[in-house]
Amino acid sequence: MKRVIAIADRAALVSLKLLAALNLLFFLSFIVVLLLASRAHAEAPGCAGIDLLTALEKNDPAAFRKVETEAAAVPNGKGLLWKLDKPGEKPSYLFGTMHMTDTRVTTLPEPAQKAYDGAGTIVIETTDAMDKAKMMAAMASEPGLMMFTDNTTLSSLLSPDDAAALDKGLDARGIPPATVAKMKPWILSAMMALPACEVARQSAGEP
């Protein structure tokens, strides 16, 4: 009986080591893709954007009006600052932004600043994003948040046409498609969405 228990203990230890190695492999894969994406952005000739709504208004006024009408019909479709009221209670405020260094995000608009200054308690999403070492450690501890840890692959969730379009976009950024095969769509999308100027500002430590 003791021998069986000893064998089971050794098997469990081996399994834990394999799991740890697998998690590390997933995390290292993520780091490689992140570095490749950063390098590709850093080598970009410049940072520019196209206002798609302005272009749509110019090229297809009817489609633009349709977009505006549908957007206006979305309940609570405008605003970043939200006020939560309850009879007999002090109001709470929710301010939503993207994680960017854009001054429109880092410099609070007057209503948001007023709510912030008058708040008794401030609750933020996370402080790990302010410390890259902590952020990387947090991501390494939960690889399943960013990577598929089962048999799922990114291409298995895409149609052949979409998979081909993704591979083309990755090739243009100098990222081998195989390195993102186990990456979840949300994290890949977040990385690919960053323009070169934003990568440069974040690399320089701007808030």
Ramachandran region of residue 205, left (φ > 0), alpha (ψ -120 to 50) or beta? Answer: left
Question: What own/partner pairs with CB < 8 Å and gap ≥ 24 does 83-88 have?
Answer: 83/115
Quick one: pLDDT at residue 19? 41
Predicted model pTM: 0.51
| pLDDT for the residue 1 | 46
pLDDT band at 128 (very low <50, low <70, confident <90, very high): low
- Residue 147: is its pLDDT beyond 90? no
Does residue 143 register a pLDDT over 80?
A: no
What is the token pair recorded at 145? Answer: 């948040």
What is the structure's pLDDT at 159?
A: 92
Q: Is the pLDDT of residue 141 over 60?
A: yes
More confident residue, 168 or 6: 168
CA–CA gap between residue 122 and residue 108 (Å, rounded): 14
Which letter does DSSP use for residue 183 in this model? B
Mean pLDDT across the chain: 75
Whether 2 has a pLDDT exceeding 70, the answer reads no
- For the chain, the farthest-separated pair of C-alpha atoms sits apart, in whole angstroms, at 80
Buried b (16+ CB within 10 A) or exposed e, 48-74: eeeeeeeebeeeeeeebeeeeeeeeee
pLDDT for 96 equals: 79
Q: For residue range 24-35, what is the model confidence (pLDDT) as tens digits?
A: 455 555 555 555
Exposure string of 157-169, with b = 16+ CB inside 10 Å and e = fewer, is eeeeeebeebbee
pLDDT band at 71 (very low <50, low <70, confident <90, very high): very high
Strand, helix or coil for residue 84: strand
- Give the gyration radius of the chain's Cα atoms: 23
Q: What is the dihedral of CA 193, 194, 197, 200, to 10 degrees?
A: -160
CA dist., res. 34 & res. 153, Å (int): 18
Query: Would you list the domain boundaries of the chain?
Result: 50-75, 80-125, 130-207
pLDDT at 139 over 90: no
* 21: pLDDT strictly greater than 60: no
What is the per-residue DSSP string for 92-136?
EEEE---S---HHHHS--HHHHHHHHT-S----S-SGGGSHHHHH
Q: What CA–CA distances, in Å, run from 96 to 77, 81, 83, 116? A: 13, 7, 12, 13
